[in-house]
Amino acid sequence: EFTIDILRGFDEWCANYRTKSSTAKPEIEYKITFTKGREILLNDNYPIARPDFDRENEQVFSYLYNHPNEKFTIKQLKGALRINLVKSFHKIVENLGFTRGLKKAFFSVSRDSIEFRNPIKSEDLAPSVVTELNSLIAKG
């Protein structure tokens, strides 16, 4: 036989917990889609770019899109794509329409490596980036 003592304030904590959990905001997710027509879309709504067929930008993005959340070096991409990369990773990302908040949200870029993050959650982004992404989606 045993006894359970409920501490003072438990009823208040329980009521507060129920209120918070029922009013919790759903987690917002952002994703990039690359359509068969080569259009790059944010959340299937906002058009970002439509790279030229089989050009450097399209080849690099297509590869990264099919290998999200992986870091690649210039050497790895050259080997995988079997092309000589002329542009810098920074320029490719810019040419694809990923500037400012879009770039911060979806790419990590350096001189020697690149990573495309997709999908991403709002909790992983700075509030200013979330605001910018929501504004773009609303325009779409």
Tens digits of residue pLDDT in 114-139? 999 999 999 999 999 999 999 999 98
Sign, CA torsion 121/123/127/128: negative
> 28: helix, coil or strand?
coil
pLDDT digits (tens, 9 = 90+) for 22-34: 555 557 799 999 9
pTM score: 0.80
pLDDT digits (tens, 9 = 90+) for 39-50: 999 999 999 999
Beta strands in 43-140 (DSSP E): 46-49, 71-73, 107-109, 113-116, 120-121
| More confident call, 109 vs 11 | 109
Domains of the chain from N-terminus onward: 29-139 (1.10.10)
